[in-house]
Amino acid sequence: VFDNNYYLDLQNNTTLFTSDQSLYSNSADTEDIVDSFASNQTVFFENFILGMLKMGQLDVLTGSEGEIRTNCSIANADSSYYQQIIESIVGPEEQSQSSQST
């Protein structure tokens, strides 16, 4: 079931990952959001929809415009290694076509 129980688990300190639990336990900024979503499932659903709409408007970088990162928060120092991996999977022709179509 897709619902707001994740946020109730945060309040009850019963989450699986400590990184998730820190949303509630270690941050005054996000504690209010957790409380809001836990106490009102409609508010959670409304905000989830808005977040999905915003993510749908992001431009996805493909081909040579983007990269697969080894650490999501840091750009790779040398993308050519990852470029070779991508080309070995999809082929250089398909990759260049996909980057031209976006």
3 has binding-site annotation? yes
Dist CA 25 CA 18 (whole Å): 9
Angle CA 92–97–99, to nearest 5: 95
CA quadruple 101, 68, 56, 90: dihedral sign: positive
Binding positions for Ca(2+): 3
Residues annotated in a binding site? 3
